[in-house]
Amino acid sequence: MEILETVSPPRPRLPEWLRLKLPTQRSFAATRNLLDGLRLHTVCESAQCPNHWECWSRGTATFMIGGDRCTRACGFCAVSTAKPLPLDPDEPARVAEATRRMKLKHVVITAVARDDLPDGGAEHFRLTIEAARAANPGLVIEVLVAVIGIWAVLVGIVEIVVSLQARRLSPPAPPRPGEEAVAEAERILREPGSQAPAPEERERTPRP
């Protein structure tokens, strides 16, 4: 019996725009060393963002406060799901110091979901924003918050705006709710281990 050997055609090379070039600039290493030295978490690393090589090479990062353990288990997110540790009271100051050292003009701050806290981490957001504003008065601050805690965080930010205006300092940029999916899709995207309440179980707060 004759055995025919099949030869597969050569695999086409990937286009240049699809290839990821690892960073060789010193700025990437400087950003990593700064974040490690200040013991800060970023979405870039915790969520395994494929673009963090490019961002860190440019000396920027998206800070993730509240620890690196999320109380939700979203299927679309790579952030670890586990019982969170207590909030670090020094974290706001370290985030502020990072924005100062990195000489940022615009910073994005987000957080893991903290459904274990009564305010969802709103007070920690407020302290971080205030610290960043004090360290860098001209900084534009953009916050990405969990859907559950958006109104609690809004209340905290309104308090910050009033305080900053009294001291004639510029307020932070309006927050953007981090809604990755509409309510109807949440049951499909979230794993059974998530502690986030179902859409119909949430307390609805009327929008102004």
**Would you say 120 and 154 are in contact if contact means Cβ atoms under 8 Å apart?**
no
By C-alpha distance, which of 56, 127, 62, 120 is closest to 88?
127
Average pLDDT over residues 184-194: 49
164: pLDDT strictly greater than 80:
no
The pLDDT assigned to 198 comes to 44
Tokens for 56? 């860190």
24: pLDDT strictly greater than 80:
no
**Contacts for 45 with CB less than 8 Å, ≥ 6 apart:** 52
The pLDDT assigned to 93 comes to 97
Average pLDDT over residues 172-187: 49
Please tell me the distance from the alpha carbon of residue 150 to that of residue 155, in angstroms, as a whole number. Answer: 9
99: pLDDT strictly greater than 90:
yes
Please tell me the distance from the alpha carbon of residue 147 to that of residue 170, in angstroms, as a whole number. Answer: 26
The pLDDT assigned to 205 comes to 41
199: pLDDT strictly greater than 50:
no
Burial of residue 54, with CB atoms counted within 10 A of its CB: 0-12 exposed, 13-18 middle, 19 or more buried: middle
**Would you say 59 and 91 are in contact if contact means Cβ atoms under 8 Å apart?**
no
Please tell me the distance from the alpha carbon of residue 126 to that of residue 149, in angstroms, as a whole number. Answer: 12
Average pLDDT over residues 33-60: 90
Provide φ and ψ at 31, rounded to 5°: -65, -45
By C-alpha distance, which of 150, 201, 142 is closest to 179?
150
The pLDDT assigned to 165 comes to 57
The pLDDT assigned to 19 comes to 73
The pLDDT assigned to 204 comes to 42
